Chain A
Amino acid sequence: MDIKVSNLTHIFSQGMPFETIALNGITCDIKEGEFAAIIGRTGSGKTTLVQHIAGLLKPTSGSVDADRKKIGIVFQYPEYQLFEETVLKDVCFGPKNLGFNEEEAEALAKDALRLVGIDPELMGALSPFNLSGGEKRRVAIAGVLAMKPEVLILDEPTAGLDPKGHDGILEMINDIKKKKNLTIILVSHNMDDVEKYAEHVLVMHDGKLVMDDSPKEVFKQGEKLIGIGLGLPWGETIANSLRERGKQISKEVLSYEDLLGALK
Chain B
Amino acid sequence: MADNILKIENLGYDYETEDENGEVIKNVALKDISFEVKKGCFVAIVGSNGSGKSTLAKNLNALFVPSRGRVLVCDMDTKEADPIDIRSKVGMVFQNPDNQLVSSVVEDDVAFGPENLGVDPKEIRDRVDEALSKVSMTEHRKKGPHLLSGGQKQRIAIAGVLAMQTECIVFDEPTAMLDPSGRKEIMDIIEELHKEGKTVILITHFMEEAARADEVIVLNKGEILFDGSPKKLFTKDNQELLDKANLKMPMAASLAAELGFKDVVTDEELINAALK
Which residue numbers of A lie inside 8 Å of B, CB to CB?
A: 41-43, 132-134, 159-165, 167, 189-191, 229-231, 234, 237-238, 241-242, 245-247, 256, 259-260, 263-264
Contact = CB atoms under 8 A, between A and B. Distances in A.
Contact of A42 (B179, B205, B246): B179
Contact of B274 (A134, A191, A242): A242
Contacts of A246: 275
Contacts of B139: none
Contacts of A234: 251
B149 A190 contact: no
A185 B258 CA distance: 34
B255 A163 contact: no
B248 interface: yes
A132 B50 contact: yes
Given A245-B275, A263-B259, A162 B177 contact: no
Contacts of A160: 176-177
Nearest to A232: B180
A159 B177 contact: yes
14 contacts: A41-B179, A42-B182, A161-B49, A162-B246, A163-B206, A189-B180, A190-B180, A231-B181, A238-B267, A241-B267, A242-B271, A245-B271, A256-B251, A259-B255
A43 B149 CA distance: 8
B180 A231 contact: yes
A231 B183 CA distance: 12
Contacts of A256: 251, 255
A228 to B, nearest CB: 11
Given A43-B149, A132-B49, A238 B205 contact: no
B270 interface: yes
A44 B255 CA distance: 33
Contacts of A260: 255, 258-259
A163 B207 contact: yes
Interface string B149-173: 1100000000000000000000000
Contacts of B177: 159-160
Contact of B275 (A159, A189, A230, A247): A247
A86 B206 CA distance: 33
B150 A42 contact: yes
B247 A189 contact: no
Nearest to B152: A42
Interface in B232-276: 246-248, 251-252, 255, 258-259, 267, 270-271, 274-275
A102 to B, nearest CB: 27
A149 B234 CA distance: 43
A189 B184 CA distance: 13
Contact of B49 (A134, A241, A263): A134
A14 to B, nearest CB: 19
B48 interface: yes
A189 B267 CA distance: 20
B100 to A, nearest CB: 15
A260 B176 CA distance: 28
Contacts of B247: 162-164
Contacts of A41: 179, 181
B259 A264 contact: yes
A252 to B, nearest CB: 17
Contacts of B182: 42
Given A164-B48, A256-B255, A263 B274 contact: yes
A132 B259 CA distance: 37
Most buried by A among B182, B206, B255, B258: B255
10 nearest A-B pairs in the assembled complex, by CB-CB distance? A162-B205, A189-B179, A163-B248, A162-B48, A231-B180, A162-B49, A164-B246, A241-B271, A42-B149, A234-B251
A164 B48 CA distance: 8
B234 to A, nearest CB: 13
Most buried by B among A164, A167, A190, A264: A164
A263 B273 CA distance: 11
A2 to B, nearest CB: 30
A132 B49 CA distance: 9
Contacts of B49: 132-134, 161-162, 165
Contact of B181 (A162, A229, A259): A229
Contacts of A162: 48-49, 205, 246-247
Nearest to A159: B177
Most buried by B among A163, A234, A237: A163
Contacts of B181: 41, 229-231
A162 B207 CA distance: 10
Most buried by B among A132, A190, A238: A238
